[in-house]
């Protein structure tokens, strides 16, 4: 079955030594009383729930999968329902939710750490509450007071779960093509008719009601994305006292048989004059839904991070135990017939790649969670605006870079196990299968790359990117005269300069030919990802250098991993710089008929 131990030491390192979370929270009135001890206590308990309750269900849930019973009824794998009951009773759904609606009001940063553990222990299970949190955020931002009072407390408590119903069979990412229609009724509600596909957690047996957020068109809606409205459509219509009442005209038609995340029901959802209520303004549904979509994209990045961590833990344990051949420099375990495979350089390459990507991804995603807290809770308007811009800029990078890396790392973890990795009973092949969806849903990674270069960078003439660049410049300037930081600061300054030049070049070419931006988008995102990771590895190296004298081997390992990243992984950016500069011609010159 494998193992999962929450990496609390590294989590605490990022939270308290790199991000100084306690000091950051003191500047936010809503979180000023939260200290490091409280955060650690919450995460320790969260780790126990994830490792002791959820992780044991991961492999069995994958093997059993969800079952479509017919007539819209779906059952989840054995133990899922009981685990969800424990989750609700412990108050976990309310962790970072608004206290006005029954939430605990803890920072989003803390919730991000919890979500990493959920995804390491059981990604398929974690999607049920993860989507509910997104529905809660969208309703909180755009729901009427009446809708908030009726639905938000139920989502906060976990009594009901939520979904996002966007995709239709004839349109995936291009939501401007959707056909689901909404007819206004005299009582202020709408009758919604259509069909949605690929709806994660769209039907299950874990809660008494499911709240669907559905995109649809009004009768007089303009074409394209400017004619989309958002509606809340419950599985059961709430009664006057807020309990599930009459069955609504929304039903699961079937579930998908998938490559991975088999413990989560991916549903076809059919709406037949289903009663719904508008969320936000008419024809402004997409901006309202982006609250949930952006949250989901950050969540998917955490899925990539979580799977990288658990795959790394298991491949590391195997590499320390499995004996095969002798070290090239002589026996390292002379009392055994062969050495553990961790002595071999290529095995170390695979392990260190996982370790370097997961630890930088953790720092990056937690820092982004802190920016979300600043955006929502800091009293200074400029701080809120800067944090909002940084989150907007880097959301596609978190989603795409962390999931690309996650898929690479789960594959490397499987490779460490050799033939055993390919066999189901060891559990490693499940991580590869589960990780693969993360590159696809919530906007494929190609779409994320287009969003980054088109909307987030060129769309504002690089203003948001300049804000992140200033953080890097300030750090480089502060460390420039410290010889012990030269090996980290020089490659960081170098990639910062190259990002600036590359961005300007692409912008100039795209003004003459828009295809240039599209052609450069995917390699450009990889370059930006390494730019961000270089910044966080340099920051972590600075802390480790300061603490190295303590004698704690944790800091020695952190420095060794930082050196590995800059020596063996960051040079990938050079390849992508050249690929981005190669332009559109190699892609677009060939006639379609020649393919």
Q: According to the model, what pLDDT value does residue 62 have? A: 98
Q: Based on the domain organization, do 143 and 26 belong to the same domain?
A: yes
Model confidence pLDDT, tens digit, residues 59-117? 999 999 999 999 999 999 999 999 999 999 999 999 999 999 999 999 999 999 999 99
Residues 147 and 15 in one domain: yes
With pLDDT > 90 as the criterion, what percentage of the chain qualifies?
96
- Of 119, 152, 185, the residue that ends a domain is 152
576 and 472 together in one domain: yes
Q: Examine the fold and report which residue of 283, 307, 322 is the final residue of a domain before the chain moves on.
A: 283
Domain that holds residue 203: 161-283
Which is nearest to 72 in space by CA: 207, 262, 247, 258? 247
34: domain CATH number is 1.10.540.10
Chosen domain end from 152, 177, 206: 152
Same domain, 192 and 139: no
| Total count of residues recorded for the chain | 595
How many independent structural domains does the chain possess? 3
Q: DSSP labels for 499-525? A: HHHHHHHHHHHHHH-THHHHHHHHHHH
d(CA 214, CA 192): 9
366 in a domain, yes or no? no
Question: Sign of dihedral through CA atoms 24, 354, 448, 440?
Answer: negative
Q: Which residues contact 415 (CB under 8 A, 6 or more apart)?
A: 350, 421
Average pLDDT over residues 119-131: 97
pLDDT 10s digits, 259-301: 999 999 999 999 999 999 999 999 999 988 888 888 999 999 9
Instruction: Say if residue 183 is in the same domain as residue 52.
Output: no
Asked if residues 230 and 142 have their Cβ atoms less than 8 Å apart, the reply is yes
**Active site annotation includes 309:** no
Residue 509 C-alpha from the chain's centroid = 32
Question: Does residue 1 have a pLDDT over 80?
Answer: no
Number of H helices, E strands in the chain: 18, 11
Question: And the tokens for 4?
Answer: 């999962």
266, 199 Cβ separation under 8 angstroms: yes
The SS3 assignment for 389 reads helix
For residue 238, what are its two tokens?
Answer: 């709430």
Residue in 442, 505, 572, 574 annotated catalytic: 442
Residue 570 domain-assigned? yes
Each residue's pLDDT tens digit, 179-214: 999 999 999 999 999 999 999 999 999 999 999 999
If asked whether residues 62 and 98 sit together in one domain, one would say yes
**Which pLDDT band, with edges at 50, 70 and 90, does 142 fall under?**
very high
| pTM of the predicted structure, to 2 decimals | 0.97
Residue 399 backbone phi and psi in degrees, to 5: -60, -50
For residue 173, name the pLDDT band (cuts at 50, 70, 90).
Answer: confident
Quote the pLDDT of residue 215: 97
**What confidence score (pLDDT) does residue 136 get?**
94
Q: Is the pLDDT of residue 343 over 80?
A: yes
Asked whether residue 347 is assigned to any structural domain, the reply reads no
> What pLDDT is attached to residue 306?
98
| Each residue's pLDDT tens digit, 348-363 | 999 999 999 999 999 9
Model confidence pLDDT, tens digit, residues 494-552: 999 999 999 999 999 999 999 999 999 999 999 999 999 999 999 999 999 999 889 99
* Residue 569 falls inside a structural domain: yes
Q: Identify whether 251 is part of a domain.
A: yes
Q: What is the mean pLDDT of residues 582-594?
A: 95
Inside any domain, residue 453: no
| Average of per-residue pLDDT values in the chain | 97
């Amino acid at each position: 079955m494998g193992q999962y131990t929450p990496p609390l030491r590294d989590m605490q390192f990022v939270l308290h030594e790199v991000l100084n979370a306690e000091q950051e929270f003191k500047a936010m009135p809503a979180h000023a009383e939260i200290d490091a001890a409280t955060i650690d206590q919450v995460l320790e308990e969260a780790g126990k729930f994830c490792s002791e309750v959820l992780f044991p269900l991961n492999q069995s849930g994958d093997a059993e999968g969800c079952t479509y019973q017919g007539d819209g009824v779906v059952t989840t794998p054995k133990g899922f329902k009981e685990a969800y009951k424990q989750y609700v009773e412990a108050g976990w759904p309310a962790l970072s939710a608004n206290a006005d609606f029954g939430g605990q009001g803890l920072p989003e940063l803390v919730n991000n750490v919890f979500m990493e553990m959920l995804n390491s222990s059981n990604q398929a299970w974690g999607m049920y509450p993860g989507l509910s949190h997104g529905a809660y955020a969208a309703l909180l931002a755009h729901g009427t007071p009446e809708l908030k009072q009726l639905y938000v407390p139920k989502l906060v408590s976990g009594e009901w779960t939520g979904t996002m119903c966007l995709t239709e069979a004839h349109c995936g990412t291009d939501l401007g093509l959707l056909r689901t229609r909404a007819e206004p009724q005299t009582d202020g509600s709408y009758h919604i008719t259509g069909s949605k596909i690929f709806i994660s957690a769209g039907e299950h047996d874990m809660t008494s009601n499911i709240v669907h957020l559905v995109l649809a068109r009004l009768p007089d809606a303009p074409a394209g994305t400017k004619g989309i409205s958002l509606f809340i459509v419950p599985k059961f219509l709430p009664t006057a006292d807020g309990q599930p009442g009459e069955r609504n005209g929304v039903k699961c038609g079937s579930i998908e048989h998938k490559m991975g995340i088999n413990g989560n029901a991916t549903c076809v959802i059919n709406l037949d004059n289903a009663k719904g209520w508008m969320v936000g303004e008419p024809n402004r549904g997409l901006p309202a839904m982006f609250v949930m979509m952006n949250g989901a994209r950050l969540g998917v990045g955490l899925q990539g991070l979580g799977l990288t961590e658990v795959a790394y833990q298991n491949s590391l344990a195997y590499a320390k135990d499995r004996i095969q051949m002798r070290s090239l420099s002589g026996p390292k375990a002379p009392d055994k017939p062969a050495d553990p495979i961790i002595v071999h350089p290529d095995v170390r390459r695979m392990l260190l790649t996982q370790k370097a990507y997961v630890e930088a991804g953790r720092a990056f995603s937690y820092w982004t969670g802190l920016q979300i807290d600043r955006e929502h809770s800091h009293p200074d308007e400029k701080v809120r605006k800067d944090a909002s811009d940084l989150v907007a800029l880097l959301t596609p990078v978190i989603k795409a870079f962390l999931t690309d890396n996650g898929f690479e790392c789960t594959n490397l973890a499987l490779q460490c196990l050799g033939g055993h990795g390919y066999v189901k009973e060891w559990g490693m092949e499940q991580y590869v299968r589960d990780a693969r969806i993360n590159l696809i849903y919530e906007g494929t990674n190609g779409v994320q790359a287009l969003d980054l270069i088109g909307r987030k960078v060129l769309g504002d003439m690089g203003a948001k990117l300049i804000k992140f660049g200033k953080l890097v410049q300030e750090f480089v300037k502060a460390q420039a005269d410290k010889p012990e930081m030269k090996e980290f600061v020089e490659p960081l300054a170098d990639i910062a300069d190259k990002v600036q030049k590359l961005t300007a070049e692409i912008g100039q070419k795209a003004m003459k030919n828009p295809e240039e931006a599209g052609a450069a988008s995917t390699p450009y995102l990889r370059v930006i990802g390494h730019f961000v990771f270089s910044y966080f590895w340099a920051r972590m190296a600075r802390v480790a250098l300061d603490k190295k004298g303590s004698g704690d081997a944790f800091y020695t390992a952190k420095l060794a991993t930082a050196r590995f990243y800059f020596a063996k992984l960051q040079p990938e950016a050079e390849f992508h710089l050249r690929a981005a500069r190669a332009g559109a011609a190699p892609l677009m010159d060939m006639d379609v008929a020649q393919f």
